[in-house]
């Protein structure tokens, strides 16, 4: 592991040359996998993640079926070669936690009531990890769900905010994530409804409110890139007006 830097911000620039509200470089491709119903490959800084969606498909075993809605299942996994030291294959406490919070980040937006008795399976594979893999996975999963044609209230966009050298910064890189004072991953819809909020470290209440504003800036930027990635694959005419709820019947949102 790298050593703790003496300073994280020098002359207004971070260790990788970014300003406090700048995201790392992002590359997105929708529909990467041929066999999945929906998929997305996303690079964000040093992160490389692949998301695949299967379904809605009949849920087995049957006793896990819900008669009134689809069950969203989310599996986040880090490839054993995704970090410097080989990760032991299989679920870990961390991957189980990330799978759970990521699934919950989509629960308020997916119209699960359209597909009773089924499962919508979301897989996120982290091929290369470099801080912020849960937010990268959520952004990719959001596009894979859209690519699979799963009806949603809108895309979910995610970005972390943190604190280093007493300043709030957006989209933490490795050193900031490892040695910073706070790490706050956030996911939200385009209209700012938060679907994931976690916090590691300490912030004052004022800093916390400021951090949420900064997270919104990052999520807005990510949303724009997600939209562009969908337009690249499907063309502009297929994009839904984000001001309405995608034509879904009133009151049919999964509670
Ligand atoms: P996130 O990836 O969402 O930021 P964490 O804060 O738990 O989640 O992890 C921060 C970073 O630490 C990861 O992105 C990854 O680069 C690194 N990391 C996580 N788990 C391991 C591990 N088992 N071995 C080595 N590095 C890891």
Residue 44 main-chain phi, psi, to 5 deg: -145, 105
Counting Cα atoms < 13 Å in the Cβ hemisphere of 142 gives 33
Secondary structure (H, E, C), the chain: CCCCCCCCEECCEECCCCCCCCCCCEEEEECCCCCCCEEEEEEECCEEEEEEEEEEEECCCHHHCCCCCCEEEEEEEECCCCCCCCCCCCCCHHHHHHHHHHHHHHCCCECHHHCCCEEEEEEEEEEECCCCHHHHHHHHHHHHHHHCCCCECCCEEEEEEEEECCEEEECCCHHHHHHCCEEEEEEEECCCCEEEECCEECCCHHHHHHHHHHHHHHHHHHHHHHHHHHHHHHCHHHCCCCCCCCCCCCCCCCC
**Predicted TM-score (pTM) of this structure:** 0.93
Residue 250 in domain: no
pLDDT of residue 22: 98
Residue 42 in domain: yes
Residue 249 in domain: no
Residue 213 in domain: yes
Q: Structural domain tally of the chain?
A: 1
pLDDT of residue 74: 98
Quote the mean pLDDT of the chain. Answer: 93
pLDDT of residue 165: 95
Which of 83, 96, 105, 181 to mutate for ligand 1's pocket (most ligand atoms within 8 Å of CB)?
Answer: 83
Residue 152 in domain: yes
Q: Tell me the C-alpha distance between 147 and 228, whole Å.
A: 13
The list of the chain residues with pLDDT below 50 reads: 245-255
pLDDT in tens, 30-55: 999 999 999 999 999 999 999 999 99
Q: Tell me the C-alpha distance between 125 and 52, whole Å.
A: 8
pLDDT of residue 3: 85
Residue 219 in domain: yes
Q: Which domain holds residue 115?
A: 17-241
Count Cβ atoms below 10 Å from residue 142 Cβ, excluding itself. Answer: 30
Count Cβ atoms below 10 Å from residue 187 Cβ, excluding itself. Answer: 30
Dig out the tokens for 155 from the structure. Answer: 């895309």
Q: Is the CB of 87 under 6 A from ligand 1?
A: yes
Dig out the tokens for 156 from the structure. Answer: 């979910």
Ligand 1 atom 21 nearest Cα: 83
pLDDT of residue 68: 98
- CATH number for the domain that contains residue 160: 3.30.230.70
Structural contact between residues 148 and 36, judged by C-beta atoms closer than 8 angstroms: yes
Residue 254 in domain: no
Which of 78, 170, 177 to mutate for ligand 1's pocket (most ligand atoms within 8 Å of CB)?
Answer: 177
Kindly give, in sequence order, each residue whose CB lies less than 8 Å from that of residue 32, ignoring residues fewer than 6 positions away.
Answer: 39, 40, 41, 50
Residue 76 in domain: yes
């Amino acid at each position: 592991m790298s050593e703790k830097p003496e300073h994280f911000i020098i002359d207004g620039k971070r260790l990788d040359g970014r300003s406090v509200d700048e995201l790392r470089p992002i590359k997105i491709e929708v529909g990467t996998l041929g066999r999945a119903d929906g998929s997305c490959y996303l690079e964000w800084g040093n992160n490389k993640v692949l998301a695949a969606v299967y379904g809605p498909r009949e849920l087995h075993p049957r006793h896990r079926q819900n008669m009134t809605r689809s069950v969203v299942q989310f599996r986040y996994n880090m490839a054993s070669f995704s970090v410097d030291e080989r990760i032991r294959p299989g679920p870990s406490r961390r991957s189980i936690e990330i799978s759970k919070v990521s699934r919950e980040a989509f629960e308020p937006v997916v119209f699960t009531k359209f597909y009773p008795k089924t499962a919508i399976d979301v897989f996120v594979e982290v091929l290369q990890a470099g801080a912020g893999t849960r937010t990268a996975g959520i952004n990719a999963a959001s596009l894979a769900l859209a690519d699979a044609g799963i009806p949603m209230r809108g895309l979910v966009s995610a970005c972390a905010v943190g604190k280093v050298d007493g300043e709030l910064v957006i989209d933490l890189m490795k050193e900031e994530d490892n040695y910073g004072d706070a790490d706050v991953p956030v996911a939200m819809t385009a209209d700012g409804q938060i679907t994931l909020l976690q916090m590691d470290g300490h912030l004052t209440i004022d800093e916390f409110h400021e951090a949420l504003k900064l997270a919104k800036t990052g999520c807005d930027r990510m949303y724009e890139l997600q939209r562009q990635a969908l337009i690249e694959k499907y063309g502009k005419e297929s994009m839904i007006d984000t001001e309405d709820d995608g034509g879904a019947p009133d009151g049919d949102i999964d509670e």
